[in-house]
Structure 1
Amino acid sequence: MAKWDNMLSMLWMLRSGRKLTAAQIADSLEISVRTVYRYIDALCASGVPVIAESGHDGGIRILDSFKETPLFFNSLELKALVDAFKFAQGAGYPYTEELQSVLKKVENGLHDEQRDDLSRQTSGLDVIVPARPPSATRLLRDLEQAAKEGRTVRIAYRKANADQAYERELDPYGLAYDRNEWYAVAFCHRSQGVRTFRVDRIEWLEQTELRFDQPLHFSASTYLRDQSEREREADGPLTVICIEGESDALNAICAHWHLRHYLNERSDREARFLLDVPTMNKYLPMYLITFGTAIRVREPIELKCKIREMAYGIAKHYDNNTD
């Protein structure tokens, strides 16, 4: 057991109110008596009033006035906290400043040994923070607040490749982070239905006086998954699609916003999907051919033939004998 776990275990043993000898604690934690006394010194330095009484009825105890338990984290727990902050920051989490403040409080309570260890543990992982407009944080906070309060908002929303933004009134149901983007799932008054809006395409947002009732047990992430499922061309029949190839190419295919929902099995060199035939025929040949020789479709034969025909058509189009 790691040092900090042992110290916390010893603290809980002493909080039982019983006097314990150093030997009893050492036997229980399977450590040496000398280590027990080092832990006592560390607990005292943390503000825990540990008393060691000598004599026949002596022992180690904690003053009855002690109520608070100091926070002890092992090195992996501390690393997880810092790494989680890095990922949250990379995702544009709207409360990264507050999260950073929490980490500062935790770090201020660490011993020098823990701080040095934390620095070593977290130096090997970085998350590249994408450029996001300063307004993104405020938009995410306002949308989350509106969802919590059941308040309708008015936004200016610009669709992809649109020349201008259009005003809409939304009842925000929730936020979800997917495909490296933030999405607001909301009831759109203009469309009279639930729609998904990319937050980075919202040019401005203002609160209104209108109120709405949040659907019971609504989940933005579940809605996004269900929406992807509905975008299939047909309900069946289903077929197994087996693709082998280079790791980077397979990673890109498995992370595709639509295909990833149908990933059935994955290894280092192969990925298997379960998808309906109409969707496969309509979308996959054009998509998969963009990977060139980095991948190879193993099955079904139907998909291999369609990609072959498409490649042949492209080659014929660029044949030197044609005008």
Structure 2
Amino acid sequence: MSAAGLRPSADRLGRLLNLVPYLLARPGIEVAQAAADLGVTQRQLREDLELLWVCGLPGYGPGDLIDMAFDGDRVTITYDAGIDRPLRLTPDEALALVVALRMLAETPGMANRDAIERALAKIEHAAGDLAGAPVAVRMPGSDDRLATLRGAVERGRALRITYYAQTRDETTERVIDPMRLLMVEGRAYVEAWCRRAEAVRLFRADRIDALTELDEPAAPPSGAEPHDVSDGVFAPGPELPLVTIKVGRGGRWITEYYPCEEVRPDGRDSDEWVVSLRVTDLAWAQRFVLGLGPDATAVSPPELVERVRDAATAALDAYAAPIPENA
């Protein structure tokens, strides 16, 4: 059975093991109320109850199986077959919860931090020795940098930052008006109004080389809207350049890593694929294609083809140049 098929079965088993103690604590509860409490449909709950009827102790005869009584739309467990305790966490599950809660507690800009810390304290108390497991949770970027960013957002202060923009392979200095801190795909970002670009921008915390909190308040324009990052940081739109490249078998991984508009085989008998995707600018696309090496060929637009050809030619010329004797 595939992993996808195993997951629903595992979920149902956990639900069934918790269902008996839940019903024991609420004799005569309405099916609709129980379904709402457990987060399932009434149909699913009734199917679970029908399955419980044939579960129980070895022997599987009268007095061995779980039994219940129905009174209209109300249900009461009349025999629990010994399953009278809620499902307990395994050591791995408890440790996973501790790590997840520690991650949430470290997340910049996370609301309800007190509630997270209270839940973490309870889980750590229940986990016992596991709470002291040698597991450290840290967000990308230095703690000092994140603390400064968090403080600027909370105090509503503008920041002067030195930022490395990977797409353009350049470092710039700019003043930003922070709006919020957020985590996307495991990385910390500050979302801010960039006075240099005159637009809302996301700045990766680990690419901020230096930052200084200014005395002036952060003042993003009233029309500055936060990005929708539910599908990730990069949201390709029709306003961005569309590039097409041809990749061999060794370069097909890009179709799983980057959002592509079109992927098609380059002929019936070819191992190459033709891939079209949106990019922030052609300079990034040039470095991207060159980085793929012999597994990629630029197809369009013509400017990208020319950029890649010129850069590759310059590199080959540099290799062909004789090395000075005194080098």
Name the TM-score, length of structure 2 as normaliser: 0.50
Q: CA deviation at 1:32?
A: 1.6
Number of aligned pairs? Answer: 260
**1:102 matched to 2:119:** yes
8 A contact 1:14–1:60 mirrored in 2: no
Deviation readout 1:56-108 (Å, 9 max, x if unpaired):
xx9459xxxxxxxx97566686576356458669xx62389975763452253
Query: Who is 2:56 aligned against?
Result: 32
Unaligned runs of 5+ in 2: 1-8, 30-48, 67-76, 165-169, 266-270
Q: CA deviation at 1:9?
A: 0.6
Query: Who is 2:21 aligned against?
Result: 11
Structure-2 separation of matches of 1:190 and 1:206: 16
Residue 241 of structure 1: which of 242, 245, 257 is its match?
245
Structure-2 separation of matches of 1:278 and 1:209: 30
Structure-1 separation of matches of 2:318 and 2:224: 56
**What is the SS of the residue equivalent to 2:55?**
coil
Give the structure with the larger helix fraction: 1
**What is the SS of the residue equivalent to 1:157?**
strand
Name the TM-score, length of structure 1 as normaliser: 0.51
Query: Who is 1:175 aligned against?
Result: 181
8 A contact 1:176–1:182 mirrored in 2: yes
Q: CA deviation at 1:320?
A: 6.3
Identity between Structure 1 and Structure 2 (%) = 14
Structure-2 separation of matches of 1:309 and 1:34: 77
**What is the SS of the residue equivalent to 1:132?**
coil
Structure-2 separation of matches of 1:109 and 1:220: 37
Give the aligned residue type for 2:108.
Answer: P
The 5-angstrom pairing of residues 95-244 of structure 1 reads 102-109=119-126, 132-143=141-152, 145=154, 152-160=156-164, 168=175, 170=177, 172-177=178-183, 181-188=187-194, 193-199=199-205, 200-201=208-209, 203-205=211-213, 218-219=226-227, 221=229, 225=234, 229=237, 232-233=240-241, 238=242, 240-244=244-248
**1:81 matched to 2:97:** yes
8 A contact 2:240–2:278 mirrored in 1: yes
Identify if the C-alpha distance between structure 1 residues 83 and 265 changes in structure 2 by more than 3 Å, giving closer, same or farther. Answer: farther
**What is the SS of the residue equivalent to 1:184?**
strand
Deviation readout 1:227-252 (Å, 9 max, x if unpaired):
x648734xxxx564342343xx6657
Give the aligned residue type for 2:125.
Answer: N
Superposed CA RMSD in Å reads 5.9
